[in-house]
Amino acid sequence: MFLIPGLIITLYVTEAMSAVLSSEHQKEIRRYLYNHQNEDGGWGLHIEGPSTMFGSVLNYVSLRLLGESPSGGDGAMEKGRNWILGHGGATLTTSWGKFWLSVLGVFHWSGNNPVPPEVWLLPYCLPFHPGRLWSHCRLVHLPMSYIYGKRFVGPITQVVLDLRKELFRDAYDEINWDKVRNQCAKEDLYCPHSFVQDILWAALHKFVEPVMLDWPGSKLRKKALDIVMQHIHYGDENTRYICIGSVNKVLNMLACWIEDPNSEAFKLHIPRVYDYLWLAEDGMKMQGYNGSQLWDTAFTVQAILAADLIEEFGPTLKLAHDYIKNSQFLDDCPGDLNYWYRHISRGGWPFSTVDQGWPASDCTAEGLKTSLLLSKISPEIAGKPVETNRLYDAVNCLMSYMNDDGGFATYELTRSYAWLELINPSETFEDIMIDYPHVECTSSAIQALASFRKLYPGHHRKKVDNCIIKAANFIESAQRSDGSWYGSWAVCFTYGTWFGVKGLTAAGWTFRNSPAIRKACDFLLSKQLPCGGWGESYLSSQNQDSEDQLKRRRQQQRILFPSMLGFTLILKAGDLI
């Protein structure tokens, strides 16, 4: 629920709303926002979440910018406004909320904690250099620092002036902006600021920023902004203006417009907005990615082959094989990868499309594993297999993701330390500062490398064996005391445990010789429901507590996937006794 507002605000301040979103687009977006307004009048961080100030303020603002009046929606707008004011007003929104409101002109930039672009000029050897951050965090900070450094504010229209009256308890001109910098509603405070962070922001705000706004500090700011813009253009060009994700996409798009409203870059951004929009029964929404095409295709093929339905789905397999082959990266990004903070790409696969430009470790693994499976089928059915040299490139790319502890992160190696979370500026998102290793990525890597080793036993055998062993040891070390693994995606503990067991079994572990697998089976059996299936609430991810699996809300609507995973793992473990 926090993705579409950034797009709406960007289109509004660049005066491109009607050029990008037709009246039908706007109608469906309004319908989506109304459909997911909570009964108390607010909006959550996601469609099942309780109301937050972040979600409520930005979605209320989006509806106003899309033409809704303060009394529109049969009273829904008034309910939304009452929730916001009843919980303290928009001064209590999160840092991301403050940023977007400032862009719109509904919040003063002095009410934001600094996002100084000068940090991009620091030496890379420093552990807190932004080039060491997780790619998503880095690529959101990058355009944010440009927009903040410019102190950009959109046109002050009548709607903007009205929002200044609607969103705050106090008169806009009487708000103490410095005081509200660190204020946040209790409903939003999932990841509170550390004391160290508050001192850092205060020092930057009171002492550094005033220097950067006047000569000679302004010369350094200009240099920093130029460097930041170079990196923004590089990212845009190497993702064909899709960008790594939707948050980064709209920020880059806005930065390009601020640099030059008539730029070719901004014009090239516009048609790629539609890659993120999705129309469903509840209205039009914005996705976090431009899809999951490669990921879905790989698992669909694996399911067809596992069910021995090759003859029935021959044409489907051929088309899917073509897509997988066409989605592999054949080259690295241009230029000095170290300068642009990019990992190698050649041989990898993306989560979605090759245009998106970002290979990921687990997607590379699933692309490789699926290509190997399809290579065993007659070319008359599945088409010509992936060339051997491209498989070698995939293995090289995949193994390059392994960290020293044996774990695999998402897009890159882990480049810094977990203590950077002390300066995580987001009150809403936890563990976002570095690219952490994940059991899912590590498991996919093991499965792919084990499959490759069977078909190509002579290719870098020692390196492949060592990679598999280290990765399996990482998975064992990441197991929780109750036998589960925390999953970073999907249905959390059931999903994470599925990947944990699949990775260990691919490495040669069995129910008989592995205490970890036996503990995992005990965990799954302990969570089986009286009806025979498995279910899991999203709260288990949010609270990092497997006991939240048992807190079922409307659980019958989402029991199939966890049940499938649980049942599959029990059967798999039984086969390995």
Here the tokens at position 338 are: 């170290």
CA-atom Rg of the chain in angstroms: 25
**Annotated catalytic, 74?**
no
The whole-angstrom separation of Cα 201 and Cα 186 is 20
Asked if residue 143 has a cis previous peptide bond (ω within 30° of 0), the answer is no
Catalytic residue among 275, 362, 393, 548: 362
CB proximity list for 573: less than 8 A, separation 6 or greater: 501, 505, 511, 517, 518, 520, 521
Here the tokens at position 241 are: 């203006």
Indicate the SS3 state at residue 552: coil
The backbone torsions φ and ψ at residue 44, rounded to the nearest 5 degrees and listed phi first, read -95, -175
Here the tokens at position 525 are: 């059996």
Indicate the SS3 state at residue 228: helix
Indicate the SS3 state at residue 288: coil
The residue type found at 450 is: A
Report the chain's terminal Cα–Cα distance, integer Å. 46
DSSP assignment string, 45-57: SSTTSPEEHHHHH
Indicate the SS3 state at residue 60: helix
The whole-angstrom separation of Cα 236 and Cα 242 is 7
Indicate the SS3 state at residue 402: strand
Helix/strand/coil (H/E/C) assignment for every residue in 266-283: HHHHHHHHHHHEEEECCE
Distance of CA 50 to CAs 43, 44, 62, 332, Å? Answer: 7, 5, 19, 43
Q: Which helix (H) or strand (E) holds 441?
A: helix 439-455
The whole-angstrom separation of Cα 225 and Cα 217 is 13
Our CA angle for 295, 300, 306, nearest 5°, is: 130
Contact yes or no for 120/30 (Cβ under 8 A): no
Catalytic residues, by residue number, are 362
